[in-house]
Amino acid sequence: MVDQRDEFISEAQEIIEGLSRDLLALDAALKHGPGSGAPDHELVNDAFRAVHTLKGLASLFGVARMTTLSHHLEDLLDDLRLGRVDLTPKVLDVLFRGVDVYGRILSALRAGEPEPQREVEELLMALDAAASRPAFAGVNPLAEYELDPGLLAVLTEYEEHRLRTNLQQGVALFKIRVRFELATIDTALDSLKAKAKPHGEILTYLPSGGGGDADSIELDVLLASRQTLDVLTTELGDTNVTIEAVARRGAGGRTAQSDPPDTVYATVGMAPRITSPPAAPEDDLHGNADTGSFNAPRVVISALGSIMGGGGGGGGIGGGGGGDDDVPEPPPVGLSIRGVAQTVRVDIRKLDHLMNIVAELAIVRGALGRVTDRVRASPEQRELGMELHRLHRSLDRHLSDMQGGILEVRMVPLGQVFDKLARVVRQISREHDKDINLVITGAETEVDKLIVEELSDPLMHMIRNAIDHGIEYRKQRNGSGKPEAGTIALNAYQKGNHVVIEVQDDGAGIDETKVLQQAIRRGLVTESEASALLQREILSFIFLPGFSTKEGVDELSGRGVGMDIVKTNIGKLGGVIDVQSELGIGTKMTVTLPITLAIISALVVVVAGRRYALPLASVLEALVFDPGAVRNIEQREVMSLRGSTLPLCRLDALFGLAPIEGSIPARRFVVVVGVGDHRLGCVVDSLIGQQDIVIKALGKSLQGVRGFSGATELGDQHVGLVIDAPSIVEEVLATSEASRLLGARRLGGGAA
Amino acid sequence: MSTRRRFAQRAAEAAQRRGAIARRAVERGARSEFLAFRMAEEIYAVPIAYVKEILKLPPLTEVPRAPPDVLGVISVRGRIVTVRDLRRRLRLTEAPVTRRSRILLAELLPEQGGSGERVGLFVDEVLNVYRLAEAEIESAANVLGSELAEYVAGIGRQGGEMIILIDLKPILAVAGKPQPPRGPAMLGTRYGTGGGAF
């Protein structure tokens, strides 16, 4: 039951994301388009279909409010695509609210709470208000065409609307006759649609009522296009293709096609086979010509000048004329039951499980390597040793491949989050009446699924901040010679084992003086200390809890929550955040994250007889510790490394570890870790080596413990803690910065 | 390793069976089952339904800067489990680890008032299972007035034995209490606490 619900939630989630993308595209088209109020019907259709599917799903799973909501949304979208309601920003607002409320319903479901009632009801009212339906008026252009009333009778409301719209715009009509193999009709029809799309709009396709046999069906496709017949024939047809224009009754409308209508009726009624003989082998998609039937669509174009006419055509047409509330999707249900999608939805926990197995295997591999070395060391076992060695290497390679394969499966493009953010930008910018262009690059950059999930909240906060605090109001922008529309750039790219995400705005920038004033007012620094602060130190105040320079508290931000949570959440993912800002020019927030949390390379070190793993991603280098080179500045130990000052941290002292007897080494090491621009030398007793580890979370009861991002099995049943380098660096540098503030200016300099 | 696993598994299965019986008993309002163990010469017990497994002591990894009653972490079939020392919670004398020392893996689901986290509880020795009728359980309030009262659900008496019944809720409901933020040290901690020193 729980599984089913999860399945429902994740499926609904996907559909809602798709719906959101469609709406965003509609919004973009509306903004940049001619503003004709006529939306891209394909997009509206997609949105309609999404809502329709959701309605079905929701009622299947008894999610009552979602069903009702879908029903009303469906009505509005239906009105949109039938042209009864114009697409305006206001209508889009309501639709976007639908996406939000869907999201809320889903999270309520996930948390096992009842569906939110108030939001749904409010939205339902808004929907009803938006769907006020003006009567559809206008001349009937259909009368001008040689269209069969029988045909008109079976068109769905939507198809008729599209037909009218096209004719009103003076687009010519063409009829294409195609023969499809039943087994492949889905893909063949899609490819025909794809071919026809650049040239016009497919209004409907109905069975021709003839020409089909047990394995094939003949369809008449009605196409509205501004192209000439010649162009269409070249583009859509091959030797088997004929396309005809639909004749117009009006004086100038009659085309060169002057065949008498009678012939037309005859054509349809008798379903003549003006086709080529059965499949030429090169046309046969599957290469099996023995059936004598076609796998590729046979495009048959009759040489006549009218659309499927004749009341008699209705017999064939009936199959396509479903209820008018149906989605205008191809009706031939049950012709192919084979799914097109080649994907499987997998619970991420299953992947975690696989990953654990790989980690266990890696431990076995390590043990095997040691045995191999022993065997190779004994002279009389040399041959056996060599063989073992080869096997071990092969195991090693395949294991790495497997590990890589599983990791790859976990990777999803950041675009998933960016789509959500685009919605947020739209909503907030409208609430604030600020024009904002969101420019996204690198949406295809891939990150571990778990990271993507955790990333959307912090990024949303950053975007909100950029709009609220960053981008100025129009007047102000005009005054400072900036374009009226603000720009927020969302850039993602991979950098080694990390992914970098930047949120950059061309707004007002962060006012350092204001930040300082606030910091002084809150007693965080004294005025004399403040004068000694560097710009990046001042800016880092914005990551303090409850810190905001904005006076007014409003809907969006300025409530003093946000950036500290952003920093905490990013930190939980093993990432760091940096801020750069220039007054009057803009602000850039840079988030650097590991690509995956699942498996990492680590350096295993010994501190006071205990083993710890240091993620290699933060390790810059390791060197022998020379106690003689240590200097003390303000009770802090530092050493020189290639001319710059490296703050030191004795991990045993930091962790409060008493040395285990006899474990005091003659020679120690310094592991230099780097996080962002900060560096820290960690003094350890010895280096054991590099190892791939799977980080496992510490239990909830240890969540308050600082300095560790988790634990891992190091083989031989032993658990080693994984050192959280960013947290250690920050902890140590924080105390040294505090002492620096007391006087010495240079100490933090190595890090700053 | 494999002996331990087999033992653990058997214990778990047995615990499950007993758990089921205990639940049925509770439904009938008759008797409940408690797993008794020894700490510092006293006999304590917890409802057996909450005990998922009994483990021999695997290598423990200490966690620097953890709360004082955390002995360390262990790996149970790939899962990291925090081991807490009941003796430290109850302020008992700590005898050295012997070969009888055990870890009880206990779990209290959120609906039972716990955090849902599986936690290891260190005990000096596991004894046996007691089936106690309601009449055999005394309320703790009559017996204790000390700070231990928080952890004691009642006192069981059977055949001249006195068994202190431990309430696992305050021990296992860690997540319910506000915890300091996890992750990197915040600037907030930096200036917030250090502010007075300037």
CATH number at residue A438: 3.30.565.10
Determine if residue B62 is left, alpha or beta; phi over 0 gives left, psi from -120 to 50 gives alpha, anything else beta: beta
Closest-approach residue (CA) in chain B for A573: B183
User: Which pLDDT score is estimated for A541?
Assistant: 81
Dihedrals phi, psi of B121, to nearest 5 degrees: -115, 125
In chain B, what residues touch A523 (CB-CB under 8 Å)? Answer: 195
Residue B149 has pLDDT above 80, yes or no: no
Confidence of residue A146 (pLDDT cuts 50, 70, 90): low
pLDDT per residue over A353-386, tens digit each? 888 788 778 778 877 888 888 898 888 888 888 8
User: Which pLDDT score is estimated for A423?
Assistant: 85
CATH of the domain at A111: 1.20.120.160
Least confident of A313-317, A537-541, A680-684, A730-734: A313-317
pLDDT per residue over A113-132, tens digit each? 777 888 888 888 888 777 65
In chain A, what residues touch B118 (CB-CB under 8 Å)? Answer: 699
User: Which pLDDT score is estimated for A95?
Assistant: 87
Of B61, B81, B187, the CB nearest to A718: B61
The answer to whether residue A496 sits within a structural domain is yes
pLDDT per residue over A157-193, tens digit each? 777 777 777 777 777 788 787 777 777 777 777 777 7
Most B-contacting residue of A355, A673, A701, A709 (CB-CB within 10 A), to test interface: A701
Residue A280 has pLDDT above 70, yes or no: no
Q: Does A102 touch chain B (CB under 8 A)?
A: no
Residues 59-78 of B with CB under 8 A from A: 59, 61-67, 70, 73-75, 78
Q: How far apart are alpha carbons A128 and A76 in whole angstroms? A: 8
Closest CA–CA distance from residue B184 to any residue of chain A (Å): 4
**Architecture of the domain defined by B2-197:** Beta Barrel (2.40)
CB contact under 8 A, A702 and B186: no
Strands, DSSP E only, in chain B? 31-39, 42-47, 51-56, 70-76, 79-85, 102-107, 118-123, 125-133, 137-139, 152-158, 161-166
Q: How far apart are alpha carbons A699 and A711 in whole angstroms? A: 10
* Better pLDDT: A43 or A215: A43
User: Which pLDDT score is estimated for A604?
Assistant: 94
Residue A470 is given by DSSP the state I
Confidence of residue A550 (pLDDT cuts 50, 70, 90): low
Other CB atoms within 10 Å distance of the CB of residue A556: 17
Residue A649 has pLDDT above 60, yes or no: yes
**Strand bridging mode B161-166 / B42-47:** parallel
The answer to whether residue A490 sits within a structural domain is yes
pLDDT per residue over A598-641, tens digit each? 677 899 999 988 999 998 888 999 999 998 889 988 778 899 98
Other CB atoms within 10 Å distance of the CB of residue A464: 20
Q: What percent of chain B has pLDDT over 70?
A: 68
Q: How far apart are alpha carbons A38 and B16 in whole angstroms? A: 66
A112 and A156 both lie in a single domain: no
In chain A, what residues touch B187 (CB-CB under 8 Å)? Answer: 540-541, 543-544, 734
User: Which pLDDT score is estimated for A315?
Assistant: 38
**Residues whose CB is less than 8 angstroms from the CB of residue A428 and which lie 6 or more positions away in sequence, other chains included:** A463, A464, A467, A468, A556
Residue B187 has pLDDT above 50, yes or no: no
Residue B17 has pLDDT above 80, yes or no: no
Q: Which of A691, A695, A461 is nearest to A574 (CA)?
A: A695
Q: What is the mean pLDDT of residues A339-348?
A: 68
β-sheet bridge partners, residue A644: A641
Q: Does A149 touch chain B (CB under 8 A)?
A: no
* Better pLDDT: A546 or A298: A546
The answer to whether residue A745 sits within a structural domain is yes
Instruction: Mark which of A109, A130, A151 sits at the end of a domain.
Output: A130
A585 and A611 both lie in a single domain: no
**Residues whose CB is less than 8 angstroms from the CB of residue A166 and which lie 6 or more positions away in sequence, other chains included:** A173, A201, A203, A224
The answer to whether residue A343 sits within a structural domain is no
User: Which pLDDT score is estimated for A748?
Assistant: 38
* Residue A198 structural domain: 141-320
Instruction: Mark which of A594, A627, A661 sits at the end of a domain.
Output: A594
Tell me the CB-side half-sphere exposure of residue A565, using CA atoms within 13 A. 16
Q: Does B184 touch chain A (CB under 8 A)?
A: yes
**Residues whose CB is less than 8 angstroms from the CB of residue A270 and which lie 6 or more positions away in sequence, other chains included:** A210
* Better pLDDT: A551 or A43: A43
User: Which pLDDT score is estimated for A38?
Assistant: 58
User: Which pLDDT score is estimated for B177?
Assistant: 39
A544 and A659 both lie in a single domain: no
Q: Does A734 touch chain B (CB under 8 A)?
A: yes
* Better pLDDT: A662 or B28: A662
User: Which pLDDT score is estimated for A223?
Assistant: 82
Closest CA–CA distance from residue B59 to any residue of chain A (Å): 6
CB contact under 8 A, A699 and B187: no
What's chain A's average pLDDT? 75
Least confident of A25-34, A92-101, A307-316: A307-316
Q: How far apart are alpha carbons A477 and A479 in whole angstroms? A: 5
In chain A, what residues touch B194 (CB-CB under 8 Å)? Answer: 734-735, 738
User: Which pLDDT score is estimated for A338?
Assistant: 52
Residue A279 has pLDDT above 60, yes or no: no
**Residues whose CB is less than 8 angstroms from the CB of residue B10 and which lie 6 or more positions away in sequence, other chains included:** none
Residue A558 has pLDDT above 60, yes or no: no
What residue ranges do the domains of chain B occupy? Answer: 2-197
The answer to whether residue A333 sits within a structural domain is no
Most B-contacting residue of A702, A703, A708, A728 (CB-CB within 10 A), to test interface: A702
Q: How far apart are alpha carbons A290 and A281 in whole angstroms? A: 9
Q: Does B109 touch chain A (CB under 8 A)?
A: no
The answer to whether residue A336 sits within a structural domain is no
CB pairs under 8 A between A and B: 143
Q: What is the mean pLDDT of residues A531-559?
A: 63
CB contact under 8 A, A572 and B119: no
CB contact under 8 A, A719 and B59: yes
CB contact under 8 A, A721 and B194: no
A419 and A406 both lie in a single domain: no
A589 and A666 both lie in a single domain: no
Element (H, E) at A551: none
The answer to whether residue A340 sits within a structural domain is no
In chain B, what residues touch A697 (CB-CB under 8 Å)? Answer: 80
CB contact under 8 A, A543 and B186: yes
pLDDT per residue over A188-232, tens digit each? 777 777 878 777 888 777 776 665 566 777 777 788 887 777 777
Confidence of residue A286 (pLDDT cuts 50, 70, 90): very low
CB contact under 8 A, A701 and B62: no
A407 and A436 both lie in a single domain: no
A65 and A151 both lie in a single domain: no
Q: How far apart are alpha carbons A265 and A269 in whole angstroms? A: 6
CB contact under 8 A, B188 and A545: yes
A580 and A630 both lie in a single domain: no
pLDDT per residue over B98-123, tens digit each? 889 999 999 888 777 777 888 999 99
**Residues whose CB is less than 8 angstroms from the CB of residue A504 and which lie 6 or more positions away in sequence, other chains included:** A488, A489, A491, A586, A587, A588, A589
Instruction: Mark which of A578, A594, A610 sits at the end of a domain.
Output: A594
A101 and A245 both lie in a single domain: no
Assign A629 to helix, strand or coil.
helix
Of A568, A571, A700, the CB nearest to B115: A700
Tell me the CB-side half-sphere exposure of residue A6, using CA atoms within 13 A. 8
Q: Does B115 touch chain A (CB under 8 A)?
A: yes
Closest-approach residue (CA) in chain B for A572: B183
User: Which pLDDT score is estimated for A364?
Assistant: 81
**Residues whose CB is less than 8 angstroms from the CB of residue B163 and which lie 6 or more positions away in sequence, other chains included:** B34, B36, B43, B44, B45, B130, B132, B155, B156, B157
Q: What is the mean pLDDT of residues A522-541?
A: 78
Confidence of residue B5 (pLDDT cuts 50, 70, 90): low
Asked whether the beta carbons of A602 and A712 are under 8 A apart, the reply is yes
User: Which pLDDT score is estimated for A213?
Assistant: 66
The answer to whether residue A373 sits within a structural domain is yes
A532 and A547 both lie in a single domain: yes
Assign B61 to helix, strand or coil.
strand
A389 and A455 both lie in a single domain: no
Closest CA–CA distance from residue A544 to any residue of chain B (Å): 5
Number of domains in chain A: 5
CB contact under 8 A, B70 and A719: no
Q: What is the mean pLDDT of residues A255-262?
A: 39
pLDDT per residue over A381-435, tens digit each? 888 888 999 999 999 889 888 888 888 888 888 888 888 888 888 888 888 888 8
User: Which pLDDT score is estimated for A335?
Assistant: 45
CB contact under 8 A, B186 and A567: yes
Residue A256 has pLDDT above 50, yes or no: no
A617 and A746 both lie in a single domain: yes
Q: What percent of chain A has pLDDT over 70?
A: 75
Q: Does B193 touch chain A (CB under 8 A)?
A: no
Residue A328 has pLDDT above 90, yes or no: no
Q: Does A33 touch chain B (CB under 8 A)?
A: no
Other CB atoms within 10 Å distance of the CB of residue A215: 14
User: Which pLDDT score is estimated for A666?
Assistant: 81
